[in-house]
Structure 1
Amino acid sequence: MRGEAVSIEPRAHGRPVAFRLPFEAASARMLASAPLLLESRMAMPQVRPGLTHERVGIFADAIFAIAITLLALELPRPEGEDFRRLGSFFGDHFGSFMAFAIAFLMLWFTWRAHHTLFDQLQRVSQLVLLLHIPLLFFVVFLPYTTSLFGEANASHLPAEADGRALATGLFAGNEAILLLAQGALFTLVLAQRLHRPDTDLQRLRANAFIYWAIGIYWLLTAAASAWAVDAVPFLWLATPLVAAGTVRVLRMRR
């Protein structure tokens, strides 16, 4: 036995059994799947730097969140003797709290639509990025016009006062441009086919029509504030009816 080579090769029924170490098996699996990974990567659309929809969506989410927070910071706060007549204080500033509630709801629904849209995108285009300039500008500007509207109504100015009509028109116009920009965003995504293949196109078109309709409606209320400023806030309350009417018209056209 001395001087002879000892075989440690495992055998079964007299035949050698092939086996691999764990790292050899993992390497073999990686090599086998490499062509599939390469093929799937080549099938994916190449996105230019700066046009990833995830980063644009995250940035827009942050802007919406900041704007909603700033709405609360603009609310009037009682000071000193105001606490002795707190109920009267809230009554005097009812316009500010009403403007806050309306602006909050409009920002919420606009953000929700924007977030849902970006969950259905494959990529964004330069035009989509450009359209975000007016969209996010008026999102950030909304707390200011909300404050103007609230203060003008808290001052108990007469209906014929220029300041009250202008503040109401600015608030309504701000909301209108924000909504129209969101509607244009839906339309642009459809026109440039930036959505995923499994996207519900009918729902996307419906959202585009709804935001166009509501935006135009708010633009008309902004114009109406020049001669019917007292009626304009009540017209805003009809916004859900405008949305429901738009949906009904779309269903009748199918």
Structure 2
Amino acid sequence: MTKGRLEAFSDGVLAIIITIMVLELKVPHEADLAALRPLIPIFLSYVLSFIYIGIYWNNHHHMLQAVRQVNGAVLWANMHLLFWLSLIPFVTAWSGENFFAAMPVALYGVVLLMSAIAYYILSRVLVWHHGKDSTLAIALGRDFKGKISVVIYSVAVLLSFVNSWLALMLYVAVAIMWLIPDRRIEKTLSS
């Protein structure tokens, strides 16, 4: 089957996730700048999560450009990824509302970790479906960035119980690492 419906559905789900997150930014009833101060942690968690959703959307788009078709296993692997991404608004709100306390930051990291694992599973299912000599398989190679991300998330989840701010910095570091779309796929597609 073609990949068009999978792409359209995924785009729609990611758009809804972003919409849900922005709705958590409650407008203060006062009209001065001091009224915005309590919203700073909520806004910061929103920004980080918005960037993460953007990263996933971007890389999902690039990955699907390297494939011709999908099957049932790909559809379920994609749903698995969307499930974990759909939890981002919850952990975003919980972290921001509780000024980045240990447990919310740990759970935020667990959701990021599971999203990364789900993305890895999706990429492997796509490679399995298209073959080890496919464009996608060649482009992904050993996927060092994907594997190191999982390690960093795991460390950050544990670190959040010692220092949640250091854990957050690790989440930011992974986001920075992924801000530029995966160029391996672009290079492979253009050659």
1:168 maps to 105
Q: 2:74 aligns with which of 114, 123, 128?
A: 128
Flag structure 2 segments of 5+ consecutive residues without an equivalent. Answer: 183-191
Partner amino acid for 2:140? L
Residue 153 of structure 1: how far off its partner (Å): 0.2
**Aligned mate of 2:53, from 107, 114, 128:** 107
Q: In 2, are the aligned partners of 1:180 and 1:215 still within 8 Å (CA)? A: yes
Q: Is the 8 A contact 1:138 1:177 kept in 2?
A: yes
Change (3 A) 1:241 1:112: closer
Give the letter for the 1:214 counterpart: S
Q: Distance in 1 between matches of 2:129 and 2:49?
A: 31
Aligned to 2:65: 119
Q: Please, what is the CA RMSD of the aligned residues? A: 2.6
Question: SS state of the match for residue 42, structure 2?
Answer: helix
Q: Which amino acid aligns with 2:31?
A: F
- Counterpart position of 1:216: 151
TM-score, with normalisation over the residues of structure 2?
0.81
Greater fraction helix: 2
Alpha carbons 2:42, 2:93 under 8 Å: kept: yes
Aligned match of 2:188:
none
Counterpart residue number, 1:72: 22
Q: Is the 8 A contact 1:169 1:225 kept in 2?
A: yes
Maintained 8 Å contact 1:95/1:150: yes
- Percent identity, aligned pairs only? 21
- Aligned: 1:83 with 2:31: yes
Q: Distance in 1 between matches of 2:67 and 2:133?
A: 6
Gaps of 5+ in 1: 1-50, 155-163, 248-254
* Whole-angstrom CA distance in 1 between matches of 2:124 and 2:69: 15
Contact 1:103/1:146 (8 A) holds in 2: yes
Normalising by structure 1, we get a TM-score of: 0.63
Q: Which has the larger radius of gyration?
A: 1
